[in-house]
Structures are given as structure tokens and as C-alpha cells.
Amino acid sequence: MTHARTRPRRVYQDEVRARLGEPEAMIRAKILDHIDEHSHRFIAHSPFLALATADAAGRADCSPRGDYPGFVKVLDERTLAIPDRPGNRIADSFGNLAENDGIGLLFLIPGLRETLRVNGRAYPTDEPDVLARMRTEGSEPVLALVVEVAEVYFHCGRALIRSRLWDPASQALAAEIPSPGETAVGQLGLDIDPALLDRNLEASYRKLF
């Protein structure tokens, strides 16, 4: 892939606003500053979220978190806790939060088009009473992320409708992507059988908690 000869031109924020129009008052009004009954029920049924952070210099990162529905605990109406399950140990989110505690969460529920967004500030904890509530398949996480909630709102379903995200037929797309082993061999120029890498990865997926 080569670089575009000229960068796409930039549209500045005042003009962005002019072109998109102002949001309706009702849209602004639905932004809550706490977890209400409806957002609590949503979080309690969500097995997946995307978690966005940035470091002090604004270098941004977004990572997936998935678990049992309700894996994010509502400690009170302004506080959430997210377990840190075994992953790749890169811990970009923790590194970013140490410099810049801003966090954005997008919760999804399979089959549901609307999503829930929660923004706030976050820090890691090892509070035993918090970790105890996250015990799954006999394992407690070593750390959890405490999120102090600032904004909570439901996001409309257009993106998920357009993307046909929950349409079973959409899963045919997955077959068009090479396996993780093939991708790694290609990206790293390895002289290894991709099937071996795929088998190792599958074996590592057996222990999830």
C-alpha cells in the first residue's frame, strides 16, 4: 500500500457543526450523569464493551473487554468496576490511565441495536471486595478498573442496523479473513507452519479466566 499523494483535506470543527447541524435538545437531555435503572439493566446484560483511553500526549487506544453478561459491576450509581481478565499483558489501558485518567466505554448486547456509552475517569484497584464479586470459573482477576462515571447515554441503533452486526448472514464475512496464524506468519515473515500457531492459539483460548 502506498501513501496517498495528497492528504484528504481537513474540515474544521465550526464547519463540521455547520454541515451536520445541532443535536436536538432531547438528545442532549438524555445524557445522564449517573447510572439509572435502565442503564444498570443494560450493563447487567452486556457481555462486551470497547474501552478507549489516551495517554498524556493524546496517543489513543481502544481495546475489547468481554466476559459474562454483567461482568461490569455497578458499585453505586456513579461507580463501575471492570475486571482485568488475562489478555496479552500489553496493558495499554493501564499505562494510559496512569497518565490521563479519562475513559470512554461502549457497551454492546448481542441482538440489540442500541448501545450504551459511559464516559468518566478511571483507576486500577485490587480491593478484595471488588475482586471477590468478579470471581468466575474459580478465578479472581488480579486487578480491576474503577470507573467514576461522568456521562451515561444510550446511543441509537443506526450504526448497528447499517452494519447488520447481529444478522447471522453477516458472519460469512469472517471466512474472508486469513487465520491468526497465517496473518502472523505474513506480518512477521516467519518460517513456521501457520497451522501450528493457530493450534497453539486455540489451546490458549481454552483457559479464559
Interface residues with another protein (CB under 8 A) are: 40-41, 44-45, 47, 68-71, 129, 132-138, 206-207
Q: If DSSP codes are grouped into helix, strand and coil, which group holds residue 207?
A: coil
Main-chain phi, psi angles of 200, to 5 degrees: -60, -40
Estimate the crossing angle of helix 194-205 against helix 180-188, to 10 degrees.
130
Which residue's CB is nearer to another protein, number 132 or number 188?
Answer: 132
- Smallest distance from another protein to CB 44, Å: 6
Which residue's CB is nearer to another protein, number 94 or number 166?
Answer: 166
- Smallest distance from another protein to CB 126, Å: 15
Which residue's CB is nearer to another protein, number 40 or number 121?
Answer: 40
Tell me how far apart the alpha carbons of residues 201 and 56 are, in angstroms, rounded to a whole number: 34
| The three three-digit cell numbers of residue 123, written as one number | 483507576
Main-chain phi, psi angles of 156, to 5 degrees: -65, 165
- Smallest distance from another protein to CB 150, Å: 23
Which residue's CB is nearer to another protein, number 40 or number 155?
Answer: 40
Which residue's CB is nearer to another protein, number 161 or number 208?
Answer: 208
- Smallest distance from another protein to CB 27, Å: 27
Tell me how far apart the alpha carbons of residues 93 and 82 are, in angstroms, rounded to a whole number: 12
- Smallest distance from another protein to CB 132, Å: 5
Q: Which long-range contacts (CB under 8 A, 24 or more apart) does 154-158 make?
A: 154/30, 154/38, 154/39, 154/42, 154/114, 154/115, 154/116, 154/117, 155/106, 155/114, 155/115, 155/116, 155/117, 156/114, 157/112, 157/113, 157/114, 157/115
- Smallest distance from another protein to CB 34, Å: 16
Which residue's CB is nearer to another protein, number 47 or number 180?
Answer: 47
CB of 147 closer than 8 Å to CB of 122: yes
